[in-house]
Amino acid sequence: MPVLSRRAALAGVFAGAVTLATGTAGAADRPRKLTIGLLPTESAPTVMRLNEPLRLYLEKRLELPVELVVGANYAATSEALRFGRLDIAYLGPVTYILQSRRAKLIPFARPSHALVGPTFQAVIIVPAGSSTRTLGDLRGKEVAFGDPASTSGTWVPRYQLVEAGLVAGRDYTLRVLGAHDAVALAVANGRADAGGLSLPIYNRLIREGRLDAGKVRVLAESAPIPEYMWTFREGLDPKLREEVRRAFIGVTDPAALQVFNAEAFIPAVDSDVDRVRIWIEAIRKDSPDAVPAPQ
């Protein structure tokens, strides 16, 4: 199993996979276009397709060309934001927390949903015919996860297993598959004993017919997780930051909000993800090499 520290060390290499798109990276000037970084929660074409309505909305609202860039992995997207190759990025809590240790990132908006507000959940699923009934039954089994920096695809499911007394590498085998849909399909096709992924993505895969609901079963749902945050790079023109912030907070277009299953975007601040910091430390306690120490 590749440890997360090794993945983090390679982040600089992975970041090169993200296309350089701003002409004024790092400078406090209005760029010729707004470059938005997205995490590869699913395949790049799928992520681009789902976010196209938001791109069109922002382009019209800001009167500025808008380009979407999907990183090769989570580290690539966050590193590209750190080094000014992106103007803003949509980062999960863990990705944001790890990268903000090395750069002054500025969260400004997050999606809010009916009934649950600015939160979502992760799930651990098993094949429909599995004899597994509790998380403890996964002892000695192989559990599939998404990207090593994914909040709902790796970190929260790992925390769920820690709470059940199971530690990766000691009590179960952790298998990295890179994306939520890859995890779901691996479980459905019997290539993994269980898998962790985002509940909203799990539900959408079933709704779109990309995952056979008859082949999988939810074993456990997580506690509410603070939502992903739209985040500015350091050095972005303050005037443009305010324009972008207002554009996001002012979204009412159902098509632009649909991929987030959101009623609206609301303001975001660093402390919104403090709960996740506690979960990270709980995992580090049992797996010291899970993530590098703050720099």
Q: What is the pLDDT of residue 278?
A: 96
Question: Domain for residue 11, yes or no?
Answer: no
Range of the domain at 127: 122-223
- Whether residue 295 lies inside any domain: the answer is no
The answer to whether residue 150 sits within a structural domain is yes
Q: Which residue, 197, 223, 249, sits at the end of a domain?
A: 223
Q: Is the pLDDT of residue 20 over 50?
A: no
Same domain, 214 and 250: no
- The CATH code of the domain that includes 202 is 3.40.190.10
Q: What is the largest CA-CA distance in the chain?
A: 59
Does 272 lie in the same domain as 206? no
Is the pLDDT at 277 greater than 50? The verdict is yes
Flag whether 168 is in a domain.
Answer: yes
196 belongs to a structural domain: yes
| Cβ–Cβ under 8 Å, residues 78 and 98 | yes
Q: What is 215-254 written as a DSSP string?
A: GEEEEEEPPPEEPPEEEEPTT--HHHHHHHHHHHHT---H
- Residue-wise pLDDT tens digits, 30-64: 788 999 999 999 999 999 999 999 999 999 999 99
149 and 240 assigned to the same domain: no
pTM of the shown model: 0.86
Does residue 157 fall inside a structural domain? yes
